[in-house]
Amino acid sequence: MKEILPNEVAALLKENSTINIIDVREVDEVKTGKIPNAMHIPLGLVEFRMQDLEKSQEYIMVCRSGGRSARAAKLLEDHGYKVMNMMGGMNEWEGPIE
């Protein structure tokens, strides 16, 4: 599985690169703030929502510390999706939140 550092994600956002971020934390966790324009799909629903995603696009998976997003990334990768896991999760995120 590919991995990406939070500062690399922040740099992509700053460049206005078109990136697809999926936050797999629970609803109450996301209420504290998420990366701007990140799609929220709780980990337990990823399996049921994967058909809403495009296999031609790459997705960056995010959670609180990187563990749940790694599980989500593995699941999607096993189904043919291009994904990266943001190491350290929101605990390491220093960029903007919404």
Active site residue 63: yes
Catalytic residue among 43, 61, 63, 70: 63
Maximum CA extent, the chain: 32
Long-range contacts formed by 9-15: CB under 8 A, 24+ apart: 9/35, 9/60, 9/62, 9/86, 9/93, 9/95, 10/93, 10/94, 10/95, 13/95, 13/96, 14/95
69 backbone dihedrals φ, ψ, rounded to 5°: -65, -30
Residues involved in catalysis: 63
